[in-house]
A and B are shown apart, each in its own frame.
Chain A
Amino acid sequence: MSSESGVVANSIRNKLQTALEATHLDVINESYMHNVPKGSETHFKVVVVSDKFDGLALIKRHRLVNDILKEELQNGVHALSIVAKTTKQWDESEKIIESSPSCRGGFGK
Chain B
Amino acid sequence: MNTLIRKSFRPFLNSTIRASCRTFADVNINEKIDKIVKDNKVVVFMKGVPDAPRCGFSNAVVQIMRMHAVPYVSHDVLSDENLRQGIKEYSNWPTIPQVFINGEFVGGCDIMLQMHQSGELVEELKKVGIQSALLTAEQFKKEEKK
Chain B nearest Cβ from A19, distance in angstroms: 16
Decide yes or no whether A36 CB sits under 8 A from chain B: no
Can you list, as one digit per residue, whether each of B56-81 has a CB less than 8 Å from chain A (1) or not (0)?
11111000000000000000001000
Given contacts A73-B94, A80-B94, A109-B78, contact A62 B111 (CB under 8 A): yes
- CB of A79 within 8 A of CB of B60, answer no
Decide yes or no whether B34 CB sits under 8 A from chain A: no
- CB of A80 within 8 A of CB of B95, answer yes
Chain A residues with a Cβ closer than 8 Å to the other chain, count: 24
- CB of A104 within 8 A of CB of B54, answer yes
Given contacts A73-B94, A106-B55, A109-B54, contact A58 B107 (CB under 8 A): yes
Q: Given the complex, which residues of A lie within 8 Å of B59, measured CB to CB?
A: 101, 104
- Interface residues of chain A: helix, strand, loop or mixed (majority): mixed
Chain B nearest Cβ from A49, distance in angstroms: 15
Q: Given the complex, which residues of B lie within 8 Å of A62, measured CB to CB?
A: 107-108, 110-111
Chain A nearest Cβ from B48, distance in angstroms: 6
- CB of A106 within 8 A of CB of B110, answer no
- CB of A58 within 8 A of CB of B78, answer no
Chain A nearest Cβ from B34, distance in angstroms: 19
Decide yes or no whether B90 CB sits under 8 A from chain A: no
- CB of A66 within 8 A of CB of B94, answer yes
CB contact between B48 and one of A79, A82, A106 (< 8 Å): that residue = A106
Decide yes or no whether B114 CB sits under 8 A from chain A: yes
Decide yes or no whether A59 CB sits under 8 A from chain B: yes
Decide yes or no whether A87 CB sits under 8 A from chain B: no
- CB of A81 within 8 A of CB of B109, answer yes
Can you list, as one digit per residue, whether each of A15-52 has a CB less than 8 Å from chain B (1) or not (0)?
00000000000000000010000000000000000000
Given contacts A78-B95, A81-B110, 6 further A-B contacts (CB under 8 A): A58-B115, A59-B107, A59-B111, A80-B95, A82-B110, A100-B56
Chain A interface (Cβ within 8 Å of chain B)?
Answer: 33, 58-59, 62-63, 66, 70, 73-74, 78-83, 100-107, 109
Q: Which 3 A-B pairs have the closest CB atoms?
A: A106-B54, A101-B56, A106-B47
